[in-house]
Chain A
Amino acid sequence: MAVLVVAAHDGKTVRANVANAVAAATQMDAEVHVLVAGSNAGEAAKSAAAIEGVAKVLQAEDAAYANWLAEDIAPLVVKLAPGYSHVVMAADSVGKNIAPRVAALLDVAQVSEAIKVVSPDTFVRPIYAGNAMATVQSTDKIKVVTVRPTNFKAGAGGGSAAIEQIAGTGSAGLSSFVGAELSKSERPELTSAKIVVSGGRGLQSGENFKMLETLADKLGAGLGASRAAVDAGYVPNDYQVGQTGKVVAPDLYIAIGISGAIQHLAGMKDSKTIVAINKDEEAPIFQVADYGLVGDLFQIIPELTAAIDKK
């Protein structure tokens, strides 16, 4: 039986991580369908149809789906699920909100944040902030799996799957969307950026984070932060990298003024190359860094920014 990938989107395109979820899904079964639910989701459905490995896109139009409320989306997925062996979502804030609701309504377990598909019923997932890897086997008939996008390489685009219109299930009338306060940024999105520059409490203020912005812009990098920096109010919550924030795996991760609590390491230690800049040479971040530089970040950041200019 086929796999159903439930895609989050912004009305125009599906999220970039849907391609990663599809890549994971193709390892569970050769036939992958993508559900695009929304209000005016035609363009998003087309973008899903172009993802390599997608056999069919199901487009469900309903005003209730406009804002991705779990109470309204879950019944639609549950209605479709019996025709599938797996329901897959990317483990982002949408997937984490909706997939467990779907699983419970189907009376099945959820495999959370799988990083590897061993076989169609067996998955590897990190536990204890990635300090242990559990191999789990699902005994349920339908497997609900969220997958960590950074662990599955997205295929190329250029596909042209058929788009089938399906009926919506309406509103459950339990919840309503009021509004969003989204961070505006021209920088690459954190979880898909090739380079990420992250700051911690060592930056000492939100004002000082501007130094990192300059550096990030020179590198074409996404900007992240440790929990300590977010808790201190230097930057918004969506910057947080770590066990309970975002998980990133860029080619280059530059940690500046971050001590490296295990909760932070959980979110970045799969990066290809890690650079740590910290004044405390005993900081745990150096244990995972490929290149460590001990010193005062307020001197190092401007120097580094200038050095990158000089090709």
Chain B
Amino acid sequence: MKVLVAVKRVIDYNVKIRVKADNTGVETANVKMSMNPFDEIAVEEAIRMKEKGAATEIIAFSAGPAQCQETIRTALAMGADRGILVQTDVELQPLAVAKLLKAVVDKEQPGLVIVGKQAIDDDSNATGQMLAALLGWSVGTFANKLNVADGSVEVKREVDGGLENIKIKMPAVITTDLRLNEPRYASLPNIMKAKKKPIETLAPDALGVDVAPRLKTLKVEEPPKRKSGIKVKTVAELVEKLRNEAGVI
């Protein structure tokens, strides 16, 4: 079984982002970029499936500017076998990415597609669900644990009230939550080996996908700042302030 994983290049989760002065977006020049953390979990899960013999080949997919090659290389260094980059400088929104992924799925026929539940830049939490819809496949969102057996996947999902178990038919799309696994670091020899692994580069047109954004971003602003607070010295002072100043207890 082939497994397709999608990896997004995002601003590193440790970077404090800055809104551009002209309010058109967030500053990305000279900012450290990394693989979306939820996608690392997706790559790790695919590698574990391969190590257990449940998967035969792992394809790492990314879409965006040429630099997304680096993100794919990271996945290859972790243990993916080959990469596919759909290269475009157009701003890609979840529906467009889902359509690109569908076109690649139609070609590659994987048994599972594993993606992060959410990218930490646009926080949309939509691409995996959209891909499953376009394919007419089932989806296991917010996966906490997976068990692949007999043409179906048992998915333990993180939901509002706790955990939920569902069984979905394969082929299927999985979106990863934080506690599915702890992604490995790529070793130096594997980073070297990854340089020789193939990456195929495609254009959206070649896949017949219109990637034009459906949501127009009118402006991006700083969130309102909280007024700076005070330090209290004792518990008694804290309780007094909460009772008489804030009036919340």
Contact = CB atoms under 8 A, between A and B. Distances in A.
Query: Are A and B bound to each other?
Result: yes
Interface of A: 67, 69-71, 74, 92-94, 96-105, 107-113, 122, 125-140, 172-183, 195, 219, 227, 230-231, 236-238, 243-244, 246, 251-252, 262-263, 269, 272-275, 281, 286-294, 300, 303-304, 307-308
B199 to A, nearest CB: 27
Given A101-B129, A126-B223, A129-B123, A174 B26 contact: no
Contact of B218 (A94, A136, A263, A300): A136
Contacts of B159: 93-94, 180, 238
A133 B216 contact: no
Nearest to B138: A174
B154 interface: yes
A289 B232 CA distance: 11
Q: Is the interface of B mostly helix, strand, loop or mixed?
A: mixed
B224 to A, nearest CB: 9
Contact of B246 (A96, A134, A237, A252): A252
A126 B230 CA distance: 27
A109 B242 contact: no
A178 B231 contact: no
B181 to A, nearest CB: 12
A96 B166 contact: no
Contacts of A128: 11, 17, 26, 120-121, 123
A13 to B, nearest CB: 14
A45 to B, nearest CB: 21
Q: Is the interface of A mostly helix, strand, loop or mixed?
A: mixed
A307 B129 contact: no
Nearest to A118: B218
B169 A175 contact: yes
12 contacts: A93-B160, A125-B123, A129-B123, A136-B215, A174-B138, A230-B178, A231-B179, A237-B144, A252-B248, A273-B248, A291-B246, A304-B235
B178 A70 contact: no
A127 B128 CA distance: 18
A307 B216 CA distance: 52
Nearest to B160: A93
A139 B17 contact: no
B169 A244 contact: no
Nearest to A113: B123
B248 A101 contact: no
A273 B221 CA distance: 23
A286 B228 CA distance: 9
Given A93-B142, A127-B26, A291-B230, 4 more contacts: A104-B134, A133-B223, A137-B218, A281-B231
Given A109-B94, A140-B214, A289 B229 contact: yes
A236 B162 contact: yes
B93 A109 contact: yes
